[in-house]
Amino acid sequence: MVLIALFTALMVVGAYIKIPNPFFPVFITFQTVFCALSGLISGSKNGVKSIVIYVLMGLAGLPVFSTPSGPQYIFQPTFGFLLGFIAAAYVIGRISESCGEFTVTKAFLASFSGLAVIYIIGIIYMYLINRLYMNMQTTFVALVSGMSLYFAKDLFLFAIASVASVKIRKRVLLISNRSITRGKE
């Protein structure tokens, strides 16, 4: 429960760390790395719960997204990335749960798989909203190339998150095992 609240809060923080991109009208944020950490550290179910809570808070109108929130946000081209975060937290969590010994390499492979999920869902959604709802004649190739700066940033941060997650996860498991054994006494 604590990890769900923690990663929900970190998603909000990640949305507010905004760096303008001079080449594309979407801010560079740090939500993707917190999404990856939610799956790597808290697992698939809790990772998904934290991201779903974050998205629902934004759709309810709480100011948690990097741009104004509310139910109308589903018509924003970047909403697909929020959907991608949900799927990615699950994918990253499932891979990290099923990989046996949790190593930096396995954490990075799980993270990279999740990153691919985020960008596939996000870019397809952005393309569809731009073409069908906003009536913009954006090409799919232009969107993909426009995302390359974000992808490079995320790849770098995911490498750091993979190293950190191995150390953090060991400590979280150690603390939770202590709590369980104390509860049995």
Q: Which pair of tokens denotes residue 131? A: 């073409």
Angstrom distance (rounded) from CA 97 to CA 117: 18
Alpha helices in the chain (DSSP H): 2-16, 31-59, 79-97, 104-128, 140-146, 148-184
pLDDT at 147 over 80: no
Predicted confidence (pLDDT) per residue in 93-129, tens digit: 999 999 788 999 999 999 999 999 999 999 999 999 9
Predicted confidence (pLDDT) per residue in 43-74, tens digit: 999 999 999 999 999 999 999 998 889 999 99
Domain tally, the chain: 1
Angstrom distance (rounded) from CA 169 to CA 163: 10
Which CATH number fits the domain that encloses residue 161? 1.10.1760.20
Q: Which pair of tokens denotes residue 7? A: 């990663």
pLDDT band at 158 (very low <50, low <70, confident <90, very high): very high
Domain of residue 80 covers 2-184
pLDDT at site 163 = 94
